[in-house]
Structure 1
Amino acid sequence: GDIENSSAGTDVAVIGGVIAAVVFVLICLLIVMVRYMYRHKGTYHTNEAKGTEFAESADAALKNDPVLQEAVDESKKEYFI
């Protein structure tokens, strides 16, 4: 009789502790995310090819990009509208 009651009380305490720990971790993550979003508000990074702002057309920008140098073939151009 006494052993079952004490183990049930222990289970409730363990479950309560786990729930409290999870809630605490979630609140901490939320605070960190809000601070990060507030601090980095307005910053905008792109992964565009270098030198595209000086090119007169998209073809020239792609042709001059060293990463895509071998990928662009003049005879196999496709235009999507």
Structure 2
Amino acid sequence: PSLGANIAIIAGMIAAIAIVLICLLIVMLRYMYRHKGTYHTNEAKGTEFAESADAALQDDPSLQDTGENSRKEYFI
């Protein structure tokens, strides 16, 4: 009788570990699927068709009152 009880306990532990691993795999796959390639940029609208960075920044309304045009600074 004790040999059958030991086998049942071992089988129950293996089944519990397998269920936990399957649940973790499902959670990880769901997280990776939902967050795949999602990012937001704060670029000005319409700048992707500009000939150069100067032309794109010249038409940006938030940069209209920056002062002189001789000093240009770009952040990448």
Normalised to the residue count of structure 2, the TM-score between the two structures is: 0.50
- Counterpart of 2:32 (choices 21, 33, 37) is 37
How many residue pairs are counted as aligned between the two chains? 45
Give me the whole-angstrom Cα distance separating, in 1, the residues matched to 2:36 and 2:9: 40
Give per-residue Cα distances to partners, 1:5-55, cap 9 Å, x unaligned. Answer: x110000000000000000000000000000000000035xxxxxxxxx95
Partner residue in 1 for 2:8: 13
Identity of counterpart residues, as a percentage? 63
Gaps of 5+ in 2: 40-71
RMSD, matched Cα: 2.6
Residue 20 of structure 2 corresponds to residue 25 of structure 1: yes
The SS at the match of 2:6 is helix
More helix by share: 1
> Which portions of structure 1, spanning 4 or more consecutive aligned residues, are displaced by more than 3 angstroms?
54-57
Gaps of 5+ in 1: 1-5, 45-53, 58-81
Normalised to the residue count of structure 1, the TM-score between the two structures is: 0.48
Amino acid at match of 1:38: Y
Give me the whole-angstrom Cα distance separating, in 2, the residues matched to 1:17 and 1:40: 35
